[in-house]
Structure 1
């Protein structure tokens, strides 16, 4: 991690860089996870308690150099991920996965992901030709309406994310074809036979991502393996702090540091923190009201879905702008064109909007 940070300082520019630090990002997470898995293995030997997930990945024996090199430089995904546990790799090379038995299933699953990856790659190329950051930084963009600017930046962000999705789909297709992605057996229905699943290296849940109506859906569906790493190896191991929000804050801080040293990364993950914080509290308050339940049970649910979908797209643009521009002067300038709307919507939640919403709910509830 230290070597990676030195690399960022030495190589990072204001543009999107393709350098050795990109595969080194993946390498860093793999080695951190491996170190924790070995540590968990030692705890198991001493009879210390471990979570069920930690038991699945804990390692009793230290890998050989040959195993370590094979794990780190697995050809399908050492450049851009997805990351996977050494336990998965060990099961793969010791023939615990039914690769030879399920070749037809593997071929069809891999082809499906390959075609999806190519489709998203084409969509990305078309999308960035229509929605460009260069235009958003121009004086011409300033002259458009504030609503147009918000929608434009939101659609730009949505298509910008297709770059990552296409890479993950293509690498997942390769992982499936190798036979690394085995994820157990399932029944499609009670009458059917068990069928092998091959989504163990899936890094994107397409339907959840495209149908997202809150930012938690994006987190659940996007970059799944890195999110799993952050949850298992950072967030849950900060339990000693005794505060979930504090654990989440430091987890996001780690992820920002992992991406680089530019301010834009930290702003993006700060945005994620304040948005998720607001969403969870807002949902916990409003979901208890009869009005909320009635809306989702009526035809008004379609309007509500359209509103929430618009909200997620628009503010995903707000959140992602600093990540792309990286340099403070650039993303701050673009935030000014949006009149700092994200700060106005999310920052005052705890002190302004939340007390007002609680009062409104209390006033409305007795009339039910």
Structure 2
């Protein structure tokens, strides 16, 4: 049933998207399709909430916590359903939210959260007005500088002749940031209206007992502007729409017992593109965004560990923090540069204009992503990096094992090594013992050679005993 609701809602939206396309309605025009997009979020969310409310105990175990929390087990009246879907403070630009949140606002159960201390429920108006002020601030910036950040300049031949490729790329970064301000503005003002109505209440801060009003927060500006990868950026951008896509599309198209993969990510991005409209610029942006997110996962898994030095408990050590800072700065710059490239088609919309816009900056984003994928997937980059990472972990483990008092079992559990050492591990241990230079280490190396020649099993515990035994016998010579 939820898929039928989704298909009907999207088909209805398609009619309005076709109308906009046929009549070439400008993207700046305010008409019904924007509110209809919000209605689709609520109706499809409600359909899946009802579906989850009818799950058996076995099916319930497969749901994530937020899906369990938002289940609808008792169907509301038609009036209550319409009041939810047409909730006025968020009818134009959202945010989306589950039916359970609205129902709890109506019956006052939303405010029955246990309080850390005997404090009055307060701060609603202050929080709402603060969001309004933030929204007006961003709106003012966009009103003043938005005209100088028009992406259509990229396809103006006269403008291109007067700007070098470097200046065009810098312009894209400036335009990307300023363009985001108009979204910050409308989402902040809408959130403020929801807070004033009471829907923004989200319990109390456990540390200081203050009332939280961030239940329907739709944007985290700092997290967007300082994101280290595309996933972090998207998690902080249009947050409730991302939740809608995750709960109604991403998690639903994956077979039971399997984890969502790249296909699920790409399908979700295509759904988001279709929800936005029919111009092919949307699809260029969202398909490219899917590749950016997949690339971000590969970089974080295979590159990031080389920039983070940790101690035996996995805590970051002071000596390695400068590398982590370097990685963070490079990640922020790369993420912002690539996302600003990605949104060029989103703003230009037309296929030819989008291609010309990307061409005016020499396709730098596509080149970076293509080269990175070629390295990771085509030239065995993942395998090489993982081999280096495993060797680095083995070296660190051997050093800790030979010259530290940390129990062998803890070391083994931390890095996932087997109890029995491979032949190359034995050779590495002997070389490290000899390179250490102490009398105890040299004697332990000879003892390990003898054990290996006799065909005995060389365990880490045996090596540890050999080192400790020779160390205690050598006394101060170590």
TM-score by structure 2 length?
A: 0.70
Structure 1 gap ranges (5+): none
Give, in whole Å, the separation in 2 of the partners of 1:145 and 1:263: 28
Structure 2 gap ranges (5+): 1-9, 113-118, 311-316, 397-478
1:297-308 correspondence runs (5 A): 297-299=320-322, 304-308=327-331
Preserved contact between residue 154 and residue 360 of structure 2 (Cα < 8 Å): no
SS for the counterpart of 1:165 is: helix
Give, in whole Å, the separation in 2 of the partners of 1:361 and 1:251: 29
- In the alignment, does 2:341 pair up with 1:318? yes
Return closer, same or farther for 1:44/1:110 CA change in 2, 3 Å cut-off: farther
1:32 matched residue in structure 2 = 44
Preserved contact between residue 14 and residue 326 of structure 1 (Cα < 8 Å): no
Preserved contact between residue 15 and residue 325 of structure 1 (Cα < 8 Å): no
Return closer, same or farther for 1:62/1:187 CA change in 2, 3 Å cut-off: same
2:401 matched residue in structure 1 = none
Return closer, same or farther for 1:295/1:252 CA change in 2, 3 Å cut-off: farther
Structure with more contact order per residue of length (Cα contacts < 8 Å, sep ≥ 6)? 1
Return closer, same or farther for 1:44/1:85 CA change in 2, 3 Å cut-off: farther
1:169 matched residue in structure 2 = 188
Quick one: which of 155, 170, 176 aligns to 1:157?
176
- In the alignment, does 2:34 pair up with 1:15? no
Quick one: which of 239, 251, 264 aligns to 2:281?
264
Quick one: which of 174, 178, 185 aligns to 2:197?
178
| CA offset digits 1:172-193 (Å, max 9, x no partner) | 11111110111122222xxx4x
Quick one: which of 181, 204, 207 aligns to 2:222?
207
Give, in whole Å, the separation in 2 of the partners of 1:182 and 1:213: 29
Return closer, same or farther for 1:172/1:357 CA change in 2, 3 Å cut-off: same
Structure 1 position 313, deviation (Å)? 2.4
Preserved contact between residue 270 and residue 286 of structure 2 (Cα < 8 Å): yes
| CA offset digits 1:53-76 (Å, max 9, x no partner) | 222111112221211121111111
Give, in whole Å, the separation in 1 of the partners of 2:351 and 2:342: 14
Quick one: which of 227, 235, 255 aligns to 2:272?
255
Preserved contact between residue 315 and residue 342 of structure 1 (Cα < 8 Å): yes
TM-score by structure 1 length?
A: 0.90
Preserved contact between residue 307 and residue 323 of structure 2 (Cα < 8 Å): no
Preserved contact between residue 204 and residue 211 of structure 2 (Cα < 8 Å): yes
| CA offset digits 1:317-337 (Å, max 9, x no partner) | 211011111111111111111
Return closer, same or farther for 1:14/1:146 CA change in 2, 3 Å cut-off: farther
Structure 1 position 290, deviation (Å)? 5.5
